[in-house]
Chain A
Amino acid sequence: MLVEIRNVSKTYESDGTRIGVLDSIDFSVDDNDFICIVGPSGCGKSTLLRIIVGLEKPTSGEVLFKGKAIAPENPKVAMVFQNFALFPWLTVTENIELVLEPKVHDEKQREEIACRYIRAVGLDGFEKVYPRELSGGMKQRVGFARALAVEPILLCMDEPFSSLDALTAQNLKDELLMLWADASMPPEAVIMVTHNVEEAVYMANRIILLSPRPGKVIADLRIELERPRNRKDPEFYRWVDKVYSLIV
């Protein structure tokens, strides 16, 4: 078991009233899990992801990473953000090298690792480019390369395709799945947050459905569709329908 989310709840105090965000979330993540957490907006799914990576504390419950309490500085966990979160004054290579600094002390070695993951996502040729000169798709490829460069065991992604136009998103989903299928590439498990059911069925081998706020797990299902998946396949649609039927 890689990660255990144990009975995690989160509440906020606002003007003297308590607002429940997450309610008793309990599941574990295994090797080779590609989990999509799906739920309506405001259901607390991004909060849950932030708790899983240790960026936020739950009000009650705990998250264990390989049996130990998760900490934000855990080098085995990486995050991809919806809005890329790149430093505009750093080049593509520098953005990636920056996250390696705490771990890899040799400059030359940092450069080599950055170079390897730049190639893996097809960004070679863009090494010295600043984020402002990149299209959205290219920016998110930097986001992927930066996350993979720390060679994480667990990769977390918060709506990684939702700031991209639909065609670019399609291209990046396929490229990410290529990297996932490549055994020589990290990570061992992925948790991705999305509001898009079709996207979840396309990407995941396991979907965890959250209810509207306060978010509670209403279903945890394995998607038994062969890869590569085809969005036009009737079997694909049966799965999409199945997930929708659990939401309403």
Chain B
Amino acid sequence: MVLPKATISEIIGLLEAINDAGGVEDAARLAADFDLELDEILPSIDGAELLGFVVVSDGNIELTGEAKRLLDAGIQERKKIIRDKIAGVPIIKELTDRLLRSDEKRMSREEVLKFIQKRISAADVEDYFKIIINWTRHAGLIGYDSDSEEIYLLSGA
């Protein structure tokens, strides 16, 4: 899993639901709980797994200690925990490094779309672009200026 198509809010919502179920829940039951199809909830499960908040085995999704720490925390503390997790995601690390090495610390949207296409061979690169920005903004790493259509490093990077 390079990057799932799920926002950070969706992933936290999922963790809250697993927590309500006692810390471990079946994927199908989670989907039914939210009136979602299984394939609609899978990206959030993948995202939670990629960030180290759940362990998945045989269709059972179990919260990790980190997830419990996240759910017990206030809004600002949650941001900090998520920030550290996102910074460790390989595709985001790679993009941040590219930006750091670039001359103006900026990259055009076009370049980023190509960057994504090379790593995720999907037709909907635009959607992944939005997800990357959603995650990196949460993490205070990368922002997007929609006027100049460029991404740039935030102070946290």
Contact = CB atoms under 8 A, between A and B. Distances in A.
Given A125-B137, A135-B134, A232 B20 contact: yes
B2 interface: no
B7 interface: yes
Contacts of A135: 7, 9, 130, 134
Name the residue among B12, B34, B154 with the largest chain A CB count within 10 angstroms: B12
A30 B156 CA distance: 44
Interface centre among A125, A129, A135, A179 (most CB of B within 10 A): A125
Interface in A109-131: 119-122, 124-126, 128-130
Contacts of B41: 167
A122 B20 contact: no
Interface stretch (A31-39, A170-178, A207-215, A219-227): A170-178
Given A122-B79, A167-B44, A168-B10, A174 B16 contact: yes
B74 interface: yes
B16 to A, nearest CB: 5
**Which range holds the interface residue count of chain B?**
20 to 34
Contacts of B154: 125
Given A119-B76, A122-B75, A166 B35 contact: yes
A167 B13 contact: yes
B13 A171 contact: yes
Residue with the greatest number of chain A CB neighbours at <10 A, chosen from B9, B44, B143: B9
B20 A231 contact: yes
B9 A138 contact: yes
A177 to B, nearest CB: 11
B21 interface: yes
A245 B138 CA distance: 43
Contact of A120 (B20, B36, B75, B143): B75
Q: Is the interface of A mostly helix, strand, loop or mixed?
A: helix
B13 A230 contact: no
A106 interface: no
A230 B78 contact: no
B9 A137 contact: yes
B146 interface: yes
A125 B140 contact: yes
Interface string B2-34: 000001011111101100111000000000001
Contact of B13 (A121, A126, A138, A169): A169
A21 to B, nearest CB: 30
9 contacts: A128-B143, A138-B9, A166-B34, A167-B14, A167-B17, A170-B16, A171-B10, A174-B16, A232-B20
The 3 closest A-B pairs by CB, nearest first: A137-B9, A167-B13, A170-B13
Given A170-B16, A175-B75, 18 more contacts: A119-B76, A122-B75, A122-B76, A128-B143, A129-B143, A129-B144, A132-B146, A133-B144, A135-B130, A135-B134, A167-B9, A167-B14, A168-B10, A170-B14, A171-B10, A171-B13, A179-B75, A232-B22
Interface of B: 7, 9-14, 16-17, 20-22, 34-36, 41, 44, 74-76, 78-79, 130, 133-134, 137-138, 140, 143-144, 146, 154, 156
